[in-house]
Homo-oligomer: A and B are copies of this chain.
Amino acid sequence: MSSSFGTLFRVSTYGESHCKAVGVVIDGCPSGFELTESDIQGQLDRRRPGQSTLSTDRQEDDQVTILSGTENGKTLGTPIALQVANKDQRPQDYGSMKNIPRPSHADYTYTLKYGIRASSGGGRSSARETIGTVASGAVALKILKKKCNIDIIAWVSSVGEIDSTPPDGNIITREMVDTTIVRCPDREAAMKMEQLVGELKEQGDSVGGVISCIIRNVPGGLGEPTFEKMEAKLAQAMLAIPATKGFEIGSGFAGSRLRGSLHNDPFTQKEGRLGTVTNRSGGVQGGISNGEPITLRIAFKPPATISLPQKTVDFSGKDVVLEAKGRHDPCVVPRAVPIVEGMAALVILDMLLRQEARKVLQQSW
């Protein structure tokens, strides 16, 4: 069940790098909703490898097919199976590394866990596994937009030590994010990031980064205390993305350094509801959305697979120097932007459905 996520809008993903297909089954998608492959393909295109000179050369067009759950372009309410074929399989690239677990990679732990290793190494730790999240996340994004006008926009806010000026969260759009290939809306910082990533690619090194995400127009009341608080499920979702090491909501770690008198968000009257003057809470209080934008930051480590020589040991414990072959991203954050958006959408839609279910009975006593 660990490849499933969600309670009422529940997704189950499958597939690794070198099998026939990767995909996802969505259980609990509302019926009567217009849905075709074109609603999904856009986010997959933003995730796929080979889309710019900055990412891996692995070429996959990653065309999605809806296998079930729709008819005449509308959802039936039954499970929606989405699938993407694996075309560009080159397991031979990994042959030389067969006996050497890559440092900081899942090669070793997958072997520990399952007692067997996929030829590609880390099996489901592969970035291809995220296709299911992005595809089902695209469905959730469309529903959230259409039903509640909810926007979920992520962007790259830092690469290595290059920080960027934050955009205006109220107006940032996916189009603005995509104006740079590194997906950082601060063009000046983006240029430096692109240069750095290009250099590291040439050197055979890699670098980490941070993705920021804003979720606008979330109605108040979403989030399920106590173990499924809004921030708890968002944290789980984000830390389930490969290569993530940190999560912040609202003021995050910086907020821990402040006094309450400076950190608290005073209430104020907004159109038809209470709002807050500041938003250090990041849109949640007590695990429940308060109607303000939800703001997140997610830390990604540098990709583990580098072609620079590394002194390590093989599976038998013998000293070796590893020079990894294969096609790898020097920096994952530009391609991880739609993954973050997808994960956020899966969480928000599930929370929305759960709260709506609650409200139906509540209002009627």
Contacts and interface: CB of A to CB of B under 8 A. Distances in A.
B266 A103 contact: yes
A355 interface: yes
Contacts of A284: 109
Tally of this chain's copies: 4
Contacts of A6: 1
Interface string A89-114: 00000000000010111101110111
A18 B81 contact: no
A195 interface: no
Contacts of A315: 274
A222 B110 CA distance: 10
9 contacts: A20-B65, A20-B67, A31-B358, A77-B116, A112-B220, A112-B288, A160-B258, A160-B259, A205-B260
Given A32-B362, A116-B32, A264-B304, A210 B246 contact: no
B286 A79 contact: no
B276 A69 contact: no
Interface stretch (A9-17, A42-50, A167-175): A9-17
A14 B23 CA distance: 12
A308 interface: yes
Most-contacted residue by chain B among A77, A78, A289, A353 (CB, 10 A): A78
A191 interface: no
A302 B108 contact: no
A202 interface: no
A7 interface: yes
A119 B74 CA distance: 12
A270 to B, nearest CB: 9
Most-contacted residue by chain B among A263, A303, A304 (CB, 10 A): A263
A353 B357 contact: yes
Interface stretch (A53-61, A178-186, A230-238): A230-238
Given A12-B79, A258-B302, A302-B258, A68 B21 contact: yes
A221 to B, nearest CB: 4
A282 B245 CA distance: 9
A256 B103 contact: no
Interface string A17-40: 011111101011011111000000
A298 to B, nearest CB: 9
Nearest to A272: B317
Contact of A259 (B207, B280, B355): B207
Nearest to A244: B231
Contacts of A317: 269, 274
